[in-house]
Amino acid sequence: MSKLWNKGFAVNQLIEDFTVGKDREMDLFLAPYDVLGSMAHITMLESINLLEKEDLKVLLPALHEIYQSAKANNFTIEEGVEDVHSQVEMLLTQRVGEAGKKIHSGRSRNDQVLVDLKLFMRAEIQEIVELTHQLFSLLIEKSEQYKDTLLPGYTHLQVAMPSSFGLWFGAYAESLIDDLHVLHSGYKICNQNPLGSAAGYGSSFPLNRQMTTDLLGFDSMNYNVVYAQMGRGKSEKIVGFGLSSVAATLGKLAYDVCLYMSQNFNFVSLPKELTTGSSIMPHKKNPDVFELLRSHCNKIQGLPAQILLMINNLPSGYFRDLQLVKELIVPAFDDLKNCLNITLFAIEHMTVNPEILNDQKYDLLFSVDEVNRRVLEGETFRDAYLNVGKEIMEGKFDPPKNVAHTHEGSIGNLCNDKIVEKFDQLLNDFNFQKTEKAIQELISQSI
C-alpha cells in the first residue's frame, strides 16, 4: 500500500485493514478540498522560496485537472493507496515528476485532513443553509396563504385555544432561524484556517499562514498550532449540534403531520401518490414519508453525542480515534439534505382542511376568548372565568366562533415580515460570498 510515511517495511494485513477502515471511502468526499488545500499550500511555498516558480507552473494546472475530476466524481483512490493525500501526491508525481514530491513540505497529514474537513464542512453548511432558506420561504408562503384558516391549539394534547395554519407554518419557519444560529456558530469555527499547524506543533519552515488563510477564504486562522489539532473533533461536534438543531425542527414538524393526518384529526392531507398502503387494509394511506423523516431526524440528533463520546477523553495532540469521527460527520450532511428536500416536496403538496372547527367538540376552544370578551365589557377576570366555567359544566356554553387577536405574533398579526427580516439578517452574517470569491480566484490561478 502506498503511504506517505512508508519506511520500507510492510504492516500486518489485519492491522492494515483495521486501521484504514472506511477512511478511503470517506476521503472521496474530501478530495476536492484536499486539492484546494494543496493549491493554497504550494502557492505559499513558492512565495517563501521552498518551491521554484517553474515547479508551481506545472503543479497548479495538474492540481486543477485533479480538482475537476474530483468535482465530477471521477476521482478514485486506487487499491493499495492509503488515503486521499497519498493519492493526490502520487498522481502529481506521475504527471509532473519530481515537483510532485515537494508539495508536502511544511505540513502533515494531520493539518491536511483538518483543512480538508473544515473546507468540506464549510461548503456543506452552505448547502444546508440554502435548502433551509428554501424551506423557510415555503413555510412563510404557506403561513400567509392560510393565515385565516383556524385549527385547534392543544396543550397536554387537550383542546386548548384557537390557532391557525398561519401560526403553525410560521412557527416552524421562525424555529429554523434559531437552528441556523446554532449552525452559524459551527460555520464560524469551520472558517478558521488550521493549515500550517502540521502535526500539531508547527514547522521550522518560515510558513506564511496568513497567505493560505486568505487564499482559502477563511475569516481567520487557528493561531495556536496545538489548539488547531485540539479542534479536530470539536469542530465536528459543534457543527453536529447545528445539524441536529435543524433536524429537531424537521422531526417535530414530521410528528405534527403524522398526528394531523390521522382520521381522528383530519387537519392535513397528502396526495395519494405521496402515501403508502397496507397489504391487508385497502383503505390505508400511510404518511410513511413523514415517519421516516422523523426517524432520520432522530438519528441526526444523536450525532453530537456520538462525536462527544469519541473525543471526550482524549488529551491534547493527535490520536487515531479522530479518524472515526469522519464516518459520522461526513454522511450526516447528505442525510440532512435529503430530509430538507423531502420536507420541501411534501409540504408543497400538502393540503389543509378549512372546515375543522365545524366539529362541535372544538367549541371549547373559544372559552378563553369569551372570558376575555367579558373582561373587556367590565367583568372581573375571576368572575368571568368562573361564570364561563359554570356554563361549560352545565352544557350552556355557546360561544361566537370568531377571534380578535391583534398583538405581535398572534393569529391576527403573524409578523411574518419581521420573521423574514430576522432570517435575511442571519443569512447575511454567513457571508458566503467572501469564501466563494476566494475559492474561485484560487481555482482560476491554477488554469
Q: Which residues are catalytic?
A: 156, 278
Is 196:212 a contact under the CB 8 Å cutoff?
Answer: yes
CB burial of residue 134 (10 Å; 0-12, 13-18, 19+): middle
379: left (phi over 0), alpha (psi -120 to 50) or beta: beta
Chain position carrying cell 432558506: 133
Burial of 245 (0-12, 13-18, 19+ CB in 10 A): buried
Task: Please report, as a single letter, which amino acid is at residue 12.
Answer: N
| Residue partners of 21: CB distance under 8 A and separation at least 6 | 323, 324, 327
Judging by DSSP bridges, how do beta strands 220-221 and 351-352 pair with one another? unpaired
Label residue 388 exposed, middle or buried (CB < 10 Å: 0-12, 13-18, 19+).
buried
Burial label, 284 (beta-carbon count in 10 A; 0-12, 13-18, 19+): exposed
Q: What are phi and psi of 41, to 5 degrees?
A: -65, -45
* C-beta atoms surrounding 177 within 10 Å: 19
Residue type, 200: G
- Would you say 401 and 366 are in contact if contact means Cβ atoms under 8 Å apart? yes
For residue 414, give the 3-state DSSP assignment: coil
